Amino acid sequence: MQVGIDKMSFFAPNYYLDMVDLAHARGEDPDKYLIGIGQSEQAVLPPTQDVVTMGANAADQMLTDADRADIQEIIFATESGIDQSKSGAVYVQKLLGLNRYARTIELKQACYSGTYGLMQARDYVTLHPEAKVLVIASDVARYGLETGGEVTQGAGAVAMLVTANPRIATLNQDNVFMSDDIMDFWRPNYSTTAVVDGKFSSNVYRDFFKELWERYQEQNQKTLVDFEAFVFHLPFTKMGLKALRDVLPEVSESKQTALMDAFEASRVYNKKIGNLYTGSAYLSLLSLLQNDASLQAGDDIALFSYGSGAEGEIFSLTLQPNYQDVLLTQQLPDLFKQREKLSIAAYEEMFNAGLTSGQDRQLDMTHDSAKFVLTGLQAQQRQYRKQ
Ligand code: COA
Q: pLDDT band for position 77 (50/70/90)? A: very high
Written as one letter, the residue type at 189 is: N
Q: What is the pLDDT of residues 10-26, one digit of tens each?
A: 999 999 999 999 999 99
Domain 171-323: CATH architecture, name and number where available: 3-Layer(aba) Sandwich (3.40)
Q: pLDDT band for position 357 (50/70/90)? A: confident
DSSP class per residue in 134-155: EEEEEEEE---TTSTTGGG-EE
Cβ 308 under 6 angstroms from ligand 1: yes
Of 83, 98, 306, 99, nearest to 184 by C-alpha is 306
**Residue 55 contacts residue 135 (beta carbons within 8 Å):** no
Residue to mutate, 202, 241, 276, ligand 1, most ligand atoms under 8 Å from C-beta:
202
- 371, HSE (Cβ side, Cα atoms, 13 Å): 12
Domain 3-169+327-386: CATH architecture, name and number where available: 3-Layer(aba) Sandwich (3.40)
Per-residue model confidence (pLDDT) at position 285: 99
Determine the distance separating the centroid of ligand 1 and the alpha carbon of 311, expressed in angstroms.
22
Note the pTM of the prediction, 2 decimals.
0.98
Cβ 198 under 6 angstroms from ligand 1: yes
Closest-lying ligand 1 atom to the alpha carbon of residue 143: 41
Per-residue model confidence (pLDDT) at position 267: 98
214 is catalytic: no
Per-residue model confidence (pLDDT) at position 181: 98
Radius of gyration of the chain (CA): 20
Query: Would you say residue 159 has pLDDT above 90?
Result: yes
Are both 3-169+327-386 and 171-323 of the same fold? Answer: yes
Determine the distance separating the centroid of ligand 1 and the alpha carbon of 144, expressed in angstroms.
16
**Residue 76 contacts residue 89 (beta carbons within 8 Å):** yes
Q: Residue 108: enclosing H or E segment and its boundaries?
A: none
Query: Would you say residue 37 has pLDDT above 90?
Result: yes
3-state SS, residue 30: helix
* DSSP β-ladder status, 103-107 and 132-141: unpaired
Taking residues 44-69, report their average pLDDT.
98
Taking residues 323-342, report their average pLDDT.
98
Domain range annotation of the chain: 3-169+327-386, 171-323
Count of positions (residues) in the chain: 387
C-alpha pair distances (Å), 102 with each of 66, 161, 387: 14, 14, 25
Q: What is the pLDDT of residues 162-205, one digit of tens each?
A: 999 999 999 999 999 999 999 999 999 999 888 999 999 999 99
Q: pLDDT band for position 355 (50/70/90)? A: confident
DSSP class per residue in 155-174: EEEEEEEEEES-SSEEE-S-
Q: What is the pLDDT of residues 219-274, one digit of tens each?
A: 999 999 999 999 999 999 999 999 999 999 999 999 999 999 999 999 999 999 99
> Per the residue annotation, which of 41, 73, 106, 111 is the catalytic one?
111
* ∠ Cα 191 197 198 (to 5°): 110
Please indicate whether residue 356 or residue 51 has the higher confidence score (pLDDT): 51
Per-residue model confidence (pLDDT) at position 228: 98
Binding residues: 29, 143, 148, 242, 275
Per-residue model confidence (pLDDT) at position 163: 98
